[in-house]
């Protein structure tokens, strides 16, 4: 699985985003260590707080199916109809959820709609993350 394929899955998931309040559509594709892909989109709520980000949707789908080992996630996010959008870095809550299941070298692939992308590690995006020890 190369990153371009993972980004394609994230873009497809973005098309399924339910975001009538922000109009900000996000898709994610999470790659397990044995090569399976779980996609996710953001799902909003009229009362706002229950909104779930695309990254957490992908993680929760995978973990609830018994997956525990992950190697990478691709994320694509932009306003509906955007052309020139840039990348969508994961929010702090999603970074914390990633750190629950992944170690520091888990790869986070941030892509724009044209599939230009940059790869970060979780340790770069969440230095000194909280752990219960």
Residues marked active site are found at: 55
Q: Which is nearer to ligand THU, 125 or 132 (CB)?
A: 125
CB 24, min distance to ligand THU, A: 4
DSSP letters, 47-63, are: TSTT-B-HHHHHHHHHH
CB 34, min distance to ligand THU, A: 25
Q: Which is nearer to ligand THU, 35 or 81 (CB)?
A: 81
- For strand 70-79 and strand 117-121, is the pairing parallel, antiparallel, or unpaired? unpaired
Which residues, in sequence order, are CB contacts of 102 under 8 Å at separation 6+? 70, 122
Contact assessment for residue 54 and residue 77, using Cβ atoms and an 8 Å cutoff: yes
Q: Which is nearer to ligand THU, 3 or 24 (CB)?
A: 24
> Which positions touch ligand THU (CB under 6 A)?
19, 22, 24, 26, 42, 44, 51, 53-55, 77, 90-91, 94
């Amino acid at each position: 699985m190369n990153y371009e394929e993972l980004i394609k899955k994230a873009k497809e998931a973005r098309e399924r985003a339910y975001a009538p309040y922000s109009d900000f559509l996000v898709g994610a594709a999470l790659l397990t260590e044995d090569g399976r892909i779980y996609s996710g989109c953001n799902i909003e709520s009229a009362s706002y707080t229950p909104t779930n980000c695309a990254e957490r949707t992908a993680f929760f789908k995978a973990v609830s199916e018994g997956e525990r080992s992950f190697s990478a996630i691709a994320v694509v996010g932009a306003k509906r109809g955007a052309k020139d959008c840039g990348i969508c870095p994961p929010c702090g809550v999603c970074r914390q959820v990633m750190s629950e299941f992944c170690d520091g070298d888990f790869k986070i692939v941030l892509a724009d709609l044209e599939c230009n992308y940059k790869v970060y590690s979780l340790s770069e995006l969440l230095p000194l993350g909280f752990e219960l020890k």
